[in-house]
Homo-oligomer: A and B are copies of this chain.
């Protein structure tokens, strides 16, 4: 008789993790101009620096760098098979440091370390904390972040591990910034915004006005582009039996949508330096329309730099309602993203 074998990976359950575990994720991915175009078409993320080779060269790059979030998603995608294939929720991110900008043609790989485990009160699942690092083709770190996800247990009766919750930073510091001088040639007409670092005040709130609807085909194409094979995004038949009854939009797609919307108001913030913390507050489904607003948390002077400064921002995204009243909670709130961008000074 034919025999059934177990060569397929069904993904880790909560029992399969232990603190200190090192995971060298499978695969590597060469970033192409096709990936960049798809990222723009799927998310609208077309900041000026990433869209124009001449503009990028005018401010000291060899060519337009790849959008930082596309790099983030590729690193994240590389980690899914090992960490979150069975995850029921991405709960949060912290300490995400973008260490260098990536160019088309570079190749990305990733590895993670399990830094914490905590069973949830129901006893049905646990929270897994990992520190993930993206590397370039020379093995140099390009991106590092912590995330924590809810992972079901294989057996409800499995004993709970000793709870270990890592200390996670509230803020990435010191910030990684481009080494070359940027502002002399910075042309605000390239970005469409006259607003530079000095123009943003802590406490200031910006409604990004525009809304954008997400379709099933779009978020699924995005997930596949990043090789993110989490069941929740791709398999409608399986998700029909879930509590949601349908596919969930990959949370990173929501982050990209919010960041794309934020271009209207923050167009000079082309360089993402850090994600200090991020939380998905409610799920997003195909057909939802996303809006976003941003609060300026802090204007950061960078040591020895008169060309650029940093802005710490909190962008909140909501679904199916405008964000002009600056909502901070409720069922409509889908994302809170605390992050830091680099902006040219005058």
A residues with a Cβ closer than 8 A to B are: 1-5, 7-10, 24-30, 32-38, 40-44, 46, 48, 51-55, 64, 81, 105, 107, 137, 189-193, 195, 199-201, 203-213, 215-218, 220-222, 224-225, 227, 229, 231, 234-238, 247, 264-267, 287, 289, 295, 320-321, 326
Please name all residues of chain B whose beta carbon is closer than 8 Å to the beta carbon of A320 when the two chains form the complex. 237
**Known A4-B205, A220-B215: A32·B37 in contact at CB below 8 Å:** yes
Inter-chain CA distance A222–B289, complex, in Å, is: 18
Main secondary structure of the interface of A (DSSP, over half): mixed
**Known A220-B218, A229-B210: A38·B30 in contact at CB below 8 Å:** no
Residue contact B32 to A204, C-beta cutoff 8 Å: no
**Known A32-B37, A52-B107: A238·B224 in contact at CB below 8 Å:** no
A29-B46, A41-B42 known; 5 other A-B pairs, CB under 8 Å? A26-B193, A28-B52, A29-B52, A41-B222, A210-B235
Residue contact B30 to A64, C-beta cutoff 8 Å: yes
Nearest 4 A-B pairs (CB), nearest first? A26-B192, A34-B37, A217-B217, A32-B33
Residue contact B38 to A52, C-beta cutoff 8 Å: no
Inter-chain CA distance A193–B40, complex, in Å, is: 32
Residue contact A212 to B225, C-beta cutoff 8 Å: no
